[in-house]
Amino acid sequence: MANNEHLMNTYAPMPVTFESGKGAILTDTNGKEYLDALSGIAVCGLGHAHPAVAQAISEQATRLIHTSNLYQIENQQNLADKLCELSGLDRVFFSNSGAEANEAAIKLARLYGHQKNIDVPTIVVMENSFHGRTMATLSATGSRKVQAGFEPLVQGFVRAPYNDIESIENIAKNNSNIVAVMVEPVQGESGIQIPDADYLNKLRELCNQNDWLLMLDEIQTGMGRTGEWFAFQHNKIKPDVMTLAKALGNGVPIGACLASEKAASVMKPGNHGSTFGGNPLACAAGLAVIKTMESEQLVSKAKDMGVYLLESLQKELANVEGVREVRGLGLMLGIELDQPCTELFSKALEEGLLLAIQADTIIRLLPPLILSTEQADAIVKKITQLVITLLQQEAA
Ligand SMILES: *Cc1c(COP(=O)(O)O)cnc(C)c1O
């Protein structure tokens, strides 16, 4: 039997190994089936083993997996075209992960600042944010748990409370080194924190007034997750920079940093790079994902299914004492309890349901965009039972 003996102790994985998947269903090595309401943490938006993605990457693999960014890559050009068409942005840098996409954004913001003769370019980041695990991105992250032990942190970030425009206005008055604001349209890791409906509009305005870049980390919210291709489209604004990863390759590692021409123009050959970033295989996956999302109209399906799931959960949990709030945007949903519920992670697994617990008290759901109504009903039923059982047992 395989074990964790030679794996670095960065995760404490559950004693379950999945062998195969189809759509929203995973099967473990004992043949037990699970309903996946987590999608590998917002990665497998099209569900598991989607035939269009499988075919695209297997075909590409028989032809060419990797060349180098020293040469043109047709899939990369095509994927960049498609992402720009969908987002209204102008240029793309491809990476292999979310953290690397954010690294590109941070480097771009610093170049942008130096070009304006700001010697200590500084980026406004938020409390309780998550931007990744590399040194720069963990420094940008608003969580001591992520940072502790890795000091000295990277300089050049100032922090503001999330969903608080006034605090950033105050920073604007007192700090002439600011070059950008980096923010998640919905905070995922800290438990589906949804800001006021006009928060991004106000941030856009503030960035315009101060000539700052608005940099949206859409690594979790992007690619249809919130019921729009990108969450900023709810606000009818456009960021200067946007980062993507997670669902872009449906599980094939790929990240992207998109920018407007104005922001992207600071990047010149030699400024930044990646050996693997945007290789033919990863971009074949990205192209297949977008094509499938378009042909199966998954963005509008995610919007509708998100409303259905939210309303069903709100209805079932409405009068349950101990449930503080049920909230969501598209298929990003959170159920906040008034007490810790970390044990629900393994309890749900036993019941054949995959979900995550954030900040000890919040159940996070990120089901695939292809979720059926029956599967949504099954999620609601299982969660309602789990939550009620937990709260009754705590009350007893
Ligand atoms: C997952 C995530 C990241 C980090 O992505 P990795 O691929 O793990 O490096 C960054 N920002 C947000 C909002 C995320 O959800």
For residue 186 and ligand 1, the question of a CB distance below 6 A is answered with no
Q: Is residue 10 part of a domain?
A: no
| Model pLDDT, residue 394 | 77
| Model pLDDT, residue 395 | 77
| Model pLDDT, residue 387 | 98
> For 387-393, what is the mean pLDDT?
94
Q: How far is CA 65 from CA 279, 280, 376, in A?
A: 7, 6, 37
Same domain, 269 and 377: no
| Distance of alpha carbon 59 from the chain centroid | 28
Nearest residue CA, atom 5 of ligand 1?
A: 98
Same domain, 283 and 339: no
Tens digits of per-residue pLDDT, 248-293?
999 999 999 999 999 999 999 999 999 999 999 999 999 999 999 9
Best residue for ligand 1 mutational test, from 137, 220, 364 (most atoms within 8 Å of Cβ): 220
Best residue for ligand 1 mutational test, from 128, 246, 358 (most atoms within 8 Å of Cβ): 246
| pLDDT band at residue 210 under the 50/70/90 scheme | very high
Q: Has 217 been annotated as catalytic?
A: yes
What SS3 class is residue 324? strand
Domain boundary among 295, 315, 343: 295
pLDDT of 1 strictly over 80: no
Ligand 1, closest atom to CA 187? Answer: 13
Q: Is residue 13 part of a domain?
A: no
Q: Is residue 1 part of a domain?
A: no
Which member of 82, 217, 230, 303 is catalytic?
A: 217
**Sequence-distant (≥ 6) Cβ neighbours of residue 295 within 8 angstroms:** none
Q: Is residue 100 part of a domain?
A: yes
Q: Has 377 been annotated as catalytic?
A: no
pLDDT of 187 strictly over 90: yes
For residue 126 and ligand 1, the question of a CB distance below 6 A is answered with no
Residue 326's CATH number: 3.90.1150.10
Tens digits of per-residue pLDDT, 340-356?
999 999 999 999 999 99
Same domain, 85 and 184: yes
| Model pLDDT, residue 372 | 98
Same domain, 238 and 140: yes
- Distance between Cα 189 and ligand 1 center (Å): 9
Same domain, 352 and 228: no
For residue 103 and ligand 1, the question of a CB distance below 6 A is answered with no
Same domain, 282 and 146: yes
For residue 131 and ligand 1, the question of a CB distance below 6 A is answered with yes
Domain boundary among 242, 273, 295: 295
Tens digits of per-residue pLDDT, 77-119?
999 999 999 999 999 999 999 999 999 999 999 999 999 999 9
For residue 48 and ligand 1, the question of a CB distance below 6 A is answered with no
Cα separation, 375 vs 282, whole angstroms: 30
Tens digits of per-residue pLDDT, 13-45?
999 999 999 999 999 999 999 999 999 999 999
Same domain, 316 and 337: yes
Cα separation, 248 vs 219, whole angstroms: 9
> For 167-191, what is the mean pLDDT?
97
| Model pLDDT, residue 370 | 98
Helix axes 165-174, 199-210, angle to 10 degrees: 10
- Distance between Cα 93 and ligand 1 center (Å): 16
Number of domains in the chain: 2
For residue 178 and ligand 1, the question of a CB distance below 6 A is answered with no
Best residue for ligand 1 mutational test, from 95, 130, 215, 248 (most atoms within 8 Å of Cβ): 130
Q: Write the DSSP assignment of 177-245 as a string of letters.
A: TEEEEEE-SSB-TTT-B---TTHHHHHHHHHHHHT-EEEEE-TTTTTTTTSSSSGGGGTT---SEEEE-
Q: Is residue 358 part of a domain?
A: yes
Domain boundary among 295, 329, 347: 295
Same domain, 330 and 240: no
| Model pLDDT, residue 396 | 76
Q: Please answer whether residues 132 and 99 qualify as being in contact, where contact means their C-beta atoms are separated by less than 8 angstroms.
A: yes
Nearest residue CA, atom 11 of ligand 1?
A: 131
Best residue for ligand 1 mutational test, from 125, 143, 216, 219 (most atoms within 8 Å of Cβ): 219
Tens digits of per-residue pLDDT, 361-389?
999 999 999 999 999 999 999 999 999 99
Ligand 1, closest atom to CA 100? Answer: 9
- Predicted TM-score (pTM) of this structure: 0.98
The residues that bridge with 344 in the sheet, in sequence order, are none
**Sequence-distant (≥ 6) Cβ neighbours of residue 94 within 8 angstroms:** 76, 79, 80, 254, 255, 256, 274, 277, 278, 282, 283
> For 314-339, what is the mean pLDDT?
97
**Sequence-distant (≥ 6) Cβ neighbours of residue 352 within 8 angstroms:** 32, 33, 34, 35, 382
Tens digits of per-residue pLDDT, 42-65?
999 999 999 999 999 999 999 999
Q: Is residue 3 part of a domain?
A: no
Residue 64's CATH number: 3.40.640.10
Same domain, 62 and 176: yes
For residue 336 and ligand 1, the question of a CB distance below 6 A is answered with no
> For 237-245, what is the mean pLDDT?
98
Tally the residues of the chain: 396
In one-letter notation, the amino acid at residue 253 is P
Q: Is residue 12 part of a domain?
A: no
Q: Has 360 been annotated as catalytic?
A: no
Q: Is residue 328 part of a domain?
A: yes
Same domain, 349 and 260: no
Residue 318, burial from CB neighbour count under 10 angstroms (0-12, 13-18, 19+): exposed
| Model pLDDT, residue 264 | 98
For residue 279 and ligand 1, the question of a CB distance below 6 A is answered with no
pLDDT of 393 strictly over 90: no
For residue 217 and ligand 1, the question of a CB distance below 6 A is answered with yes
Which residues form the domain of 249? 51-295
Pick the range with the lowest mean pLDDT from 199-203, 317-321, 391-395.
391-395
Same domain, 247 and 389: no
For residue 358 and ligand 1, the question of a CB distance below 6 A is answered with no
Q: Please answer whether residues 257 and 267 qualify as being in contact, where contact means their C-beta atoms are separated by less than 8 angstroms.
A: no
What SS3 class is residue 357? strand
| Model pLDDT, residue 2 | 84
| pLDDT band at residue 192 under the 50/70/90 scheme | very high
Cα separation, 200 vs 350, whole angstroms: 40
- Distance between Cα 343 and ligand 1 center (Å): 24
For residue 184 and ligand 1, the question of a CB distance below 6 A is answered with yes
- Distance between Cα 299 and ligand 1 center (Å): 21
Same domain, 61 and 182: yes
